[in-house]
Amino acid sequence: MEMLINVPETVVADALRGMAAAHPELTVDVENRVIVRRDAPVAGQVALVSGGGSGHEPLHGGFVGPGMLSAACPGEVFTSPVPDQMVRAAAAVDSGAGVLFVVKNYTGDVLNFDMAAELAEDEGIQVAKVLVNDDVAVTDSLYTAGRRGTGATLFVEKIAGAAAREGRPLEQVEAIARRVNESSRSFGVALSAVTTPAKGSPTFDLPSGELELGIGIHGEPGRERRPMMTSGEIAEAAVDAVLTDLGPSNPVLVLVNGMGATPLLELYGFNAEVQRVLGERGVAVARTLVGNYVTSLDMAGASVTLCEIDEELLGLWDAPVSTPGLRWGM
C-alpha cells in the first residue's frame, strides 16, 4: 500500500492534527472530531454546520470559515459522522439565531443528522435542514435512497453561508439553500477506482482502458462502463446528462471538480471542453470554478456541476469567503 500515512486507524486523527497546525483560524477538536471557526459563535448570524465521511477533502472541513460553514463534522473515511459530533458542533456555533444543517443525501448522513437535529432542539437550539441531492446519474445507489449529494454541496454551503453572513434569518437562509440545491445538477466520471486506507486496494474493478460514467464519490457504480473516451467526448456525455435534467433558461455557475487524482492540467483542459459544449447548447456561463473540491481519495476522474442562478444567487456567490479550501474577496 503506497500511501502517505502512518497506519489506517489514525488517518483521520492525523489529518485533523495537521489541519489544526496549518490553520490557527480554526478550532480543531481532534478527539471529538469537530472543526469550528475560531470566532464562533458570531452574534446575529445563522450558523451552518455540515459534515460527512472523510476522504472528500476539502469538503467539508476545508470550507469552514467566514462566508461559508461555521463548523464541520468529519467521520471516518467514507463513513458518516455520529450525532454527538453534530450536536457538539451546533452548540459551539449557535449564537441564538439558529443552525442550518447541510446534509448530503447518503443514508447514514441523513439518519444521523435527523437524530442530531432532535437532540439539538432538546437543548434549545433552533435547527433547520437542507438535503443536497444533485447527482443525475442514478437513483437509489449503494449508499442512498434517491439521488446522491455531490458537487452542489459546495454551491449550497457557499451561497447559504453568504446569506447567513448578511444576517438573514434562519428561514431565509434555509430557503436559499433549498433553492440552490433545486437549481443544481451534477454528473461524475471515474477513470480509475478509489483505494481506501483500510482496504489498501481498489474498492471496485475498473480495467485499464475503461471508464465509468455516472460514478459516485464513494466509488458507487454509475450508469454504464465504456472504453476510454476523449476529454471532449466525456464533456459531451456529462454536460448533456445534466442539461437533460436541468434545462436552464438563465446563466449557470459551473464547477469542474477533480475526484482527487486528476491534475489541474487535465481539469483545465476538460473545462475547455465543458465550456465548448455549453456554448454549443446555448447555455450562458456566469462563473466557473475548476479544481479538487469534492473528491474521492485517489480516484482519477472529474464531475460537472451546473447551478442555474439569478442576480441574487450570483451576488451571494461573489460575496467574500475565507476558508482553507475556498477564498476570495477578503
Q: Each residue of 51-83: pLDDT tens digit?
A: 999 999 999 999 999 999 999 999 999 999 999
> How far apart are alpha carbons 278 and 284 in whole angstroms?
7
The model's pLDDT over 8-58, given as tens digits with 9 standing for 90+, comes to 999 999 999 999 999 999 999 999 999 999 999 999 999 999 999 999 999
- What CA–CA distance (Å, rounded) separates 21 from 42? 23
State the pLDDT confidence band at 183, using cuts at 50, 70 and 90: very high
Mean pLDDT of all residues in 212-237: 93
**Residue 298, CA atoms < 13 Å, CB-side half-sphere:** 14
- 198: cell is 483500510
Computed over every residue of the chain, the mean pLDDT equals 96
Task: Tell me what pLDDT residue 115 has.
Answer: 98
C-alpha dist (Å) from residue 74 to 11, 60, 99, 218? 12, 7, 18, 15
Report helix, strand or coil for 128.
strand
Query: How would DSSP label each residue in 27-95?
Result: EEETTTTEEEETTPSPTT--EEEEEEEESSTTTTGGGBSTTSBSEEEEEEETSPPPHHHHHHHHHHH--
pLDDT at 125: 98
Known catalytic residues are: 56, 218
Q: What is the pLDDT of residue 138?
A: 81
Q: How confident is the model at residue 88 (pLDDT cuts 50, 70, 90)?
A: very high
- Alpha-carbon torsion 177, 245, 277, 251, what sign? negative
Sign of the Cα torsion 154, 316, 61, 168 reads negative
Q: What is the DSSP letter of 191?
A: S
* pLDDT at 168 exceeding the cut of 90: yes
Q: Which residue has the cell 455557475?
A: 253
> Residue 187: is its pLDDT beyond 70?
yes
- Pair 322, 262: CB distance under 8 Å: no
pLDDT digits (tens, 9 = 90+) for 121-160: 999 999 999 999 999 998 776 667 789 999 999 999 999 9
Residue 189 and residue 39: Cα distance in Å, rounded? 38
Strands 71-77 and 47-54: parallel
